[in-house]
Amino acid sequence: MNWLSVAEIAKLTRIPAPTARRYASLFKDFLGGRKMGRVTKYPEESIVVFERISRMYGEGRVTSEIEDGLRTEFPRTIDVDHAPQPPAAQQEVYAELASSFNGVIGKVASCMEVIANQKSIIDQQQEDIQKLKTAFVMLARSQKKMKELPTGCDVIPEEIIEQTQALEKKDAEIEEMALKLTFDTSDLKAKLQILESELVRLRKDRREMEKYLQDKIERLKGVSS
């Protein structure tokens, strides 16, 4: 098929170029134009339509009357740029969009699962710390009572002294455990903040992907109709 620019059609039909461009704009549905780079070109058969439009204007008809006349004489065409995509191409686009969307959803779900696990660990450690604090209070009370006892060896049995020493040792161990749990909890909270930031970003990506997917589907529906 031979494709011609408006300037070439104007030269062949002897229609002034500005007039031919106006015809192309007003009656594009009957001319079958196709975008080629930056220039819209028309099939060679459209010369007949350009000449018919020129004659009808010469007869004194207005644009609406000319459009009605063309509708009865020539088939209404669709710009190639807006032609429906082949079904296979549409399916490929849908598959690509669905794959991208599912990938984002998968990342969000995975991130939320990790955050839930981290929160569970933090809650458990906070509960352990609270138990340790209670143990500290009880140990402190026991030690205070021990110190209030008379210091004579005949008054304090050796067994109580051994138990007191064991309690002091246990106190040190518990304090070390509590300190370690506190550090671990702080580290987990920092990680949790990072994960929550990532979750916010993923949710934003998901919203953008949903919008892109919806817009793409709407455009494809519009083309198909």
pLDDT for 88-113, tens place per residue? 555 666 666 666 666 666 666 666 66
Amino acid sitting at position 13: T
Residues found in the chain = 225
Q: At residue 82, does pLDDT exceed 50?
A: no
More confident residue, 71 or 94: 71
pLDDT tens sequence across 2-51: 899 999 999 999 999 999 999 999 998 899 898 888 889 999 999 999 99
Total-model pTM: 0.36
Q: Which residues pair with 39 in a beta bridge?
A: 36
Contacts of 10 (CB under 8 A, 6+ apart): 16, 17, 19, 20
Q: HSE-up of 64 (CA within 13 Å, CB side)?
A: 0
* Domains of the chain, start order: 3-82 (1.10.1660.10), 87-224 (1.10.287.1490)
| 62 secondary structure, DSSP code | -
pLDDT of residue 224: 58
Could you tell me the pLDDT band of residue 85, with boundaries at 50, 70 and 90? very low
According to DSSP H, which parts of the chain are helical? 6-13, 17-26, 46-58, 63-73, 87-148, 158-224
Model pLDDT, residue 23: 93
